[in-house]
Amino acid sequence: MHIIEEIKKNELVRNPSEIQKICLDKLKLNPLPNIKSELWRLSNKSKFSSFLDFSNINKESRMSLPYKNISPNIIRLIIGENSSINLEEETYSIRKLKDSEIIKYIKKNISNFDQNDHWSDLLNHCLSSKSNILGLNISGNQVPPIEIFSSSSSECFNAKTLILFCEKNCKVDLLQINIGNKNSSLSQSTYLCLEENTTINHGVVSYGEKKSNLLNSLNVIQKEKSNYSLGSIHFKFNYARFEIRINQLKGAAKTTIKGIQITKKNDQIATYTKIKFNGPNGFVDQINKSLADDKSHAIFEGAIIVPKVAQKTNASQLSRNLLISRHAKIDTKPQLEIIADDVKCKHGATISQLNEEELFYMRSRGLTLAEASKLQLSSYFKEIIECIPISKDRWDLLDVLLQEN
C-alpha cells in the first residue's frame, strides 16, 4: 500500500496545502479505515490494497473523452483541465468558486469528519491538488445541462474534487462521468449544496477499464423544499466503492436515489448510503440494484436515519439484486434507524436470479436465450437508467458500454 506508507512517513505530498495538512494530520495516526467496522468489513482486502498501490505523482495527460459530438448547449467540464468557467446569462449564471471559498468550505466540512466514516474524503483531500478541485456556484432556473468528467491516468492514483453550490430556485441537470483508465485508481469526492427550492437531477456514470479502481464519495446537503434526484450506474471496476451521504438539514426536502452496480469477473463494487433527516416532512425514495455475474461481489449497505425531530418523514428504501452466476456473491443490508414516532418508513431487499418463466415465455416466441436475457436485463436496468439525465447521443454510448459488459 504505497500511499499508506507515504502517509506514515509524511512523504505523501511535498509542500502540502492547508487542507492537505489538516487531512494528513487526521490520517497520520490511523491511515487506514477500521476494516472491522460495518462500513469496511466487506471490502476485499487485497483489492483495497491494490487500490492504494499506485503512485500519486500526477502524470500530465489530457483526458480522452468517450464521445465527441455534443450538443452546443451542454456545458462540458473536465476536472483538472478547465482553468476557468464564468458564464453570466440572463436566465442563469455559473461562476467558478474562488480558492478562498473552496478552502473555507472544505475546512468547515473536514472539521466534522470522522476518520472512519469519511476516510474516502480525507484521503481525497490529502491527494487532491488545487488544480484537481473544481468549485462552481450556479444560479438560475434555465441552466443548460452540465456534464463533468473525471478520470484517472494509467499506473496512477488520481484524486479529483467537485464542489457545487446551487443558489435558491436553481434548477439543473448535472451528469458526472467518472472513467478509470487501465491499471489506475481514481478518488472522486463530490459536494453538492442545494439551497431552498433548488432542483438537481444528478446522474453519475462510472466505468473503468482493466484493473481500474474507484473510490467515489458523494456528499449532498439539502435545504428545505429542495429536490434532489440521483440516478447512478457503476460497472467494470476491479474495485469500486460509492459512498452517498445525504443530509436534509431541516427536513421538508425530497430525495430520490436510484442506482445500479454491475459486477463481472472478479470485480467488487459496493454502494454505501447514509440519509439523514434533521427536520420534519422529509421524503426519500431509494432503489439500489445490483447485478452480479461470474465470481464477482456486489455490496449494498444503506442507512436511513430518522431522529425525533424528523416527524412525518416518508422514507422508502429497496435493495433489488440479481445473481447471474452461482459463483457470484451479493451482500445487502438496508437499514432504518427511527426515533421519531409519526413516520412512514419501509425497507426491503430481494435477491433473485433471471426469471426462468419469463425467459421461457420469450424463447417460446423465437427469441434466443441470449436475446431473451438481454431484454430481461435491459428491463432491469431501465428503471435506473431513466433517472440519469442523459441525452440520446450519450445514451448510445452507455448502451454500447452496457452491451459490452
Partner 1 sequence: MQTKTKELDPILEVNNLFASTEDLPILKGVTISVNPGEIHAIMGRNGCGKSTLSKIIAGHPSYKITKGEIKFTGQDIKSLEPEERAQSGIFLGFQYPIEIPGVSNLEFLRVATNARRKFLKKEELDTFDFEDLVREKLDLVKMDSAFLSRSINQGFSGGEKKRNEILQMALLEPKIAILDETDSGLDIDALRIVASGIKKISNENTGIILITHYQRLLEEIKPDYVHVMSDGQIIKTGESDLALELEKHGYEWTDNFTKEF
Which chain residues interact with partner 1 by CB under 8 A? 356-358, 360-369, 371-372, 375-376, 378-380, 382-383
CB of 372 to partner 1, least distance (A): 8
CB of 3 to partner 1, least distance (A): 42
CB of 186 to partner 1, least distance (A): 31
Query: In a 10 Å sphere around its CB, with 0-12 CB exposed, 13-18 middle and 19+ buried, how is residue 392 labelled?
Result: exposed
Nearer to partner 1, 142 or 378 (CB): 378
Nearer to partner 1, 14 or 365 (CB): 365
Query: In a 10 Å sphere around its CB, with 0-12 CB exposed, 13-18 middle and 19+ buried, how is residue 397 labelled?
Result: middle
Q: Is 342 helix (H, G, I), strand (E, B) or coil?
A: coil
Nearer to partner 1, 186 or 372 (CB): 372
Name the nearest CA neighbour of 156 among 18, 2, 263: 2
Nearer to partner 1, 116 or 373 (CB): 373
Q: Rounded to 5 degrees, what are φ and ψ at 306?
A: -125, 90
CB of 271 to partner 1, least distance (A): 21
Nearer to partner 1, 114 or 357 (CB): 357
Q: Helix and strand tally (H, E) in the chain?
A: 8, 19
Nearer to partner 1, 19 or 372 (CB): 372
Q: Where are the beta strands (DSSP E) in 293-369?
A: 297-306, 314-323, 329-338, 344-352
Q: Which residues contact 104 (CB under 8 A, 6 or more apart)?
A: none
For residue 307, CA distances in Å to 61, 223, 248, 339 come to: 47, 17, 12, 5
CB of 361 to partner 1, least distance (A): 4
CB of 13 to partner 1, least distance (A): 48
CB of 405 to partner 1, least distance (A): 19
Nearer to partner 1, 10 or 378 (CB): 378
Q: What is the DSSP string of 194-260?
A: E-TT-EEEEEEEEEE-TTEEEEEEEEEEE-TT-EEEEEEEEES-SEEEEEEEEEEBTB--EEEEEEE
